[in-house]
């Protein structure tokens, strides 16, 4: 009855969305629902609203001009302000005409994948990776994702050699690889990549003559000692700029995921033309664009807001990891993002069934929603993504429940980490 192209989509609903809405339907409340779900599965930043609230309340309401048709790849005002913001974080001048505003980072990823790939062509992605890439990059475009597995023994740090191997093997098998895509800072690991790693990655991408898609939606959500380096920064990318395509949005850095305001930056004229044509199908409400442009038009407020966001993120991470340390739950250290990448392989054993069993146990019995590594195409079982950007009490309760559940979970016989 329905088309084959839509059937492909319906068979691939992201597990992330499903767990989110189940957990949200019966949330924990210390007084009223102490046995409710603790949703640490969704990368939402719940730490920011009080710093946004006053500024939002002072916004000018929609005008007649706002209600009218506007360029479907974003209003000039919003693109100018986004260009100014990202020119700072990317350390290079981004032109407003190189930006395409589109419905969410999802829309931006779909647009760049569709612009670059025909159905069946491939995108190599270092794994573990943000699970929704499967839908965002491959769902409508028809592209295929080929994971480049990273190594568990160094906490899944980005490794250009792993990407090189995946590209070489894919080519050897006759795959038409068009691009490499990654989250930077990484998700789920939360690594802020070093300039050396990024330089090495660009060398690989250039050697294989493929485009690079860099999802920098967590660009301002860093808290470690290492400053964020964009992949479009000329310091690491002096000569692959027009083959490097940047995705950003307001969901993470500004804590506004519901507004579905994403942006694609590209310097390649043909890709830009294609992305604008694709934005026609997924434009952002002018009312929302106006709201966001008004926020960005107050750079002093933006600077203070983002700095406060980073302070709170650092405190939240420190709180979460201190709890994990107390309960002797191992994890890979993070310098960015909203989550901690937990190593629970001691409790899952070396098989995917063990990971699945522990995930279900935590969700159904402990009523803690954290996402299993399989949702991120982790190359090794036993890892879980735990988001911590919410009320500290909820994180405390979630780690307490998790530790209690693990105390009763059957440990791997060998006792050794995978």
Binding residues among 133-172 for a copy of itself as defined by CB under 8 A:
135, 139-142
Distance CA 353, CA 360 (A): 11
User: Measured from the CB of residue 221, what is the shortest distance to a copy of itself in angstroms?
Assistant: 16
**255 touches a copy of itself (CB under 8 A):** yes
Going by their DSSP bridges, the two strands 383-387 and 371-372 should be labelled as antiparallel
Q: What is the DSSP letter of 187?
A: T
Beta carbon nearer to a copy of itself, 127 or 138: 138
From candidates 96, 104, 147, 354, binder to a copy of itself by CB under 8 A: 104
From candidates 114, 187, 222, 345, binder to a copy of itself by CB under 8 A: 114
Q: Return the range that interacts with a copy of itself (CB under 8 A); candidates 80-88, 93-101, 212-220, 276-284.
A: 276-284
From candidates 30, 33, 56, 304, binder to a copy of itself by CB under 8 A: 56
User: Measured from the CB of residue 307, what is the shortest distance to a copy of itself in angstroms?
Assistant: 20
**351 touches a copy of itself (CB under 8 A):** no
**370 touches a copy of itself (CB under 8 A):** no
Q: Return the range that interacts with a copy of itself (CB under 8 A); candidates 57-65, 193-201, 233-241, 341-349.
A: 57-65
Distance CA 182, CA 200 (A): 14
User: Measured from the CB of residue 184, what is the shortest distance to a copy of itself in angstroms?
Assistant: 22
User: Measured from the CB of residue 59, what is the shortest distance to a copy of itself in angstroms?
Assistant: 7
With beta carbons less than 8 A apart as the criterion, state whether 215 and 245 touch.
no
Q: What is the DSSP letter of 27?
A: B
Copy the structure tokens of residue 27: 């949330």
Distance CA 264, CA 246 (A): 6
**7 touches a copy of itself (CB under 8 A):** yes
* Closest of 246, 207, 229 to residue 336, by C-alpha: 229
Collapsed DSSP state (helix, strand, coil) of residue 262: strand
Phi, psi of 295 (to 5 degrees): -60, -50
**291 touches a copy of itself (CB under 8 A):** yes
Beta carbon nearer to a copy of itself, 134 or 343: 134
**270 touches a copy of itself (CB under 8 A):** yes
* Closest of 379, 399, 401 to residue 388, by C-alpha: 399
**26 touches a copy of itself (CB under 8 A):** no
> H or E element: which one contains 179?
strand 177-183
From candidates 31, 34, 68, 173, binder to a copy of itself by CB under 8 A: 68
User: Measured from the CB of residue 136, what is the shortest distance to a copy of itself in angstroms?
Assistant: 8
Contacts of residues 272-277 at CB distance under 8 Å and 24 or more positions apart, as own/partner, are 272/97, 272/98, 272/100, 274/111, 274/114, 274/115, 275/73, 275/100, 275/102, 275/111, 275/112, 275/115, 276/72, 276/73, 276/100
* Closest of 338, 395, 312 to residue 186, by C-alpha: 338
User: Measured from the CB of residue 109, what is the shortest distance to a copy of itself in angstroms?
Assistant: 9
Collapsed DSSP state (helix, strand, coil) of residue 217: coil
User: Measured from the CB of residue 104, what is the shortest distance to a copy of itself in angstroms?
Assistant: 7
From candidates 105, 148, 212, 259, binder to a copy of itself by CB under 8 A: 259
Q: Return the range that interacts with a copy of itself (CB under 8 A); candidates 199-207, 267-275, 390-398, 405-413.
A: 267-275
Radius of gyration of the chain (CA): 21
Site for a copy of itself in 194-223 (CB under 8 A): none
Beta carbon nearer to a copy of itself, 253 or 335: 253
**287 touches a copy of itself (CB under 8 A):** yes
């Amino acid at each position: 009855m329905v088309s084959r192209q839509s059937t492909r989509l319906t068979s691939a609903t992201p597990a992330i969305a499903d767990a989110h809405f189940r957990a949200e339907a019966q949330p924990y409340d210390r007084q009223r629902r102490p046995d409710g779900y603790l949703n640490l599965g969704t990368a939402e930043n719940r730490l920011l609203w009080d710093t946004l609230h006053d500024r939002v309340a002072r916004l000018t309401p929609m005008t007649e001009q706002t209600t009218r048709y506007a360029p479907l790849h974003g209003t000039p005002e919003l693109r100018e302000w986004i260009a100014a913001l990202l020119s700072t974080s990317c350390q290079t001048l981004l032109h407003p005409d190189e930006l395409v505003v589109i419905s969410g980072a999802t829309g931006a990823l779909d647009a760049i994948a569709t612009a670059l790939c025909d159905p069946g062509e491939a995108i190599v992605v270092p794994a573990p990776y943000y699970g929704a890439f499967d839908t965002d990059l491959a769902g409508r475009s028809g592209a295929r994702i080929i994971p480049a597995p990273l190594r568990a023994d160094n906490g899944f740090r980005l490794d250009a050699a792993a990407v090189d191997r995946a590209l070489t093997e894919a080519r050897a098998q006759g795959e038409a690889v068009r691009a490499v895509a990654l989250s930077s800072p990484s998700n789920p690991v939360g690594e802020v990549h070093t300039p050396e790693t990024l330089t090495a990655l660009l060398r690989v991408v250039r050697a294989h003559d493929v485009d690079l898609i860099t999802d920098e939606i967590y660009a301002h959500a860093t808290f470690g000692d290492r400053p964020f380096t964009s992949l479009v920064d000329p310091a690491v990318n002096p000569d692959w700029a027009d083959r490097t395509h940047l995705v950003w949005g307001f969901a993470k850095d500004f804590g506004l995921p519901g507004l579905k305001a994403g942006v694609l930056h590209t310097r390649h004229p043909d890709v830009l033309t294609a992305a604008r044509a694709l934005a026609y199908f997924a434009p952002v409400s002018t009312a929302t664009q106006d709201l966001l442009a008004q926020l960005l038009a107050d750079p002093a407020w933006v600077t203070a807001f983002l700095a406060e966001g980073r302070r709170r993120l650092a405190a939240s991470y420190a709180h979460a990891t201190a709890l994990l340390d107390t309960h002797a739950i191992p994890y890979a250290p993070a310098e960015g993002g909203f989550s901690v990448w937990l190593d629970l392989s001691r409790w899952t054993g070396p098989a995917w069934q063990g990971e699945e069993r522990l995930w279900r146990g935590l969700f159904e019995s402990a009523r803690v929603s954290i996402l299993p590594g399989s949702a991120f195409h982790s190359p090794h079982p036993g890892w879980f993504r735990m988001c911590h950007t919410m009320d500290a009490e909820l994180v405390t309760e979630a780690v307490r429940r998790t530790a209690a559940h693990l105390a009763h979970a059957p440990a791997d016989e060998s006792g050794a980490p995978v």
